[in-house]
Amino acid sequence: MSDLITYQLDDGVATLVMCSGKVNALSPALLEAFNQCLDRAEQDKAVVVVTGQPGVFCGGYDLKVMGSGPEQAINLVAAGSTLARRMLAHPFPIVAACSGHAIAKGALLLLAADYRLGAEGPFQVGLNEVLIGMTMHHAGIALARDRLTAAGLQRAVNNAEMFNPAQALQVGFFDQLASPDTLLAEAHTVARKLATLNMPAHAATKRKVRSPLLDALAQAIALDRKHLLMA
């Protein structure tokens, strides 16, 4: 599909590998390629596995774009939040195989997946916005509030605490840990199990379960545009 993210279909499972640079920073081009991959996976009626290169899943938004001007920053944040909302409503299951560090928007992408596996190792997972002087956006708060434990929400969002994989499992970023060597294989095992679901029932049920969150995210995306314009 792209030199920023690869797409491989095998026995009903589409594997998306982010490979856009050292930390897989989310740029407009990577977000566009990600959406194109989801389009193709939907056409293929495939369960999706999303991962990165060994040692890094995603380091968040591309700071060069974020610093290039207010309009560029607003558009990038809106596009990233819209992708997360799309993932939450995707008609086929999405499995995240976190291959290493997942920071800021990278950690929020984990929260948008249906099942999340994390690689064991000296990796950090968390929301560092407050640490680097950024007020957390409404969409990020809405997603974190829905998917993290109550204590984890406060520690991650308000305190910008970074978690090792075991801690990230406890507070809700992950559902399961795996060794780096077996991470992708275990993610595919989960994906193949999810592929046995009745997909129309899965899609309809997921939309019912997540209806309040999807509505909250739609409102949050609009609020974030408004507040960033006023900043």
For the chain, domain boundaries: 5-194
Residue 176: the pLDDT is 98
Q: Quick check: 231 pLDDT over 80?
A: no
DSSP 153-180: HIIIIIS--EE-HHHHHHHTS-SEEE-T
pLDDT in tens, 59-93: 999 989 998 888 999 999 999 999 999 999 999 99
* pTM for this prediction: 0.95
Q: Quick check: 230 pLDDT over 80?
A: no
Comparing 22-26, 48-52, 167-171, which segment has the lowest mean pLDDT? 22-26
Q: Quick check: 214 pLDDT over 60?
A: yes
Residue 17: the pLDDT is 98
Which option is the CATH number for 5-194: 3.90.226.10, 3.40.80.10, 3.40.50.300, 2.40.50.140? 3.90.226.10
Which own/partner contact pairs does 119-123 have at CB distance under 8 Å and 24+ positions apart?
A: 119/165, 119/177, 119/178, 119/179, 119/180, 119/183, 120/165, 120/166, 120/177, 120/178, 120/179, 120/180, 121/165, 121/180, 122/164, 123/55, 123/98, 123/164, 123/165
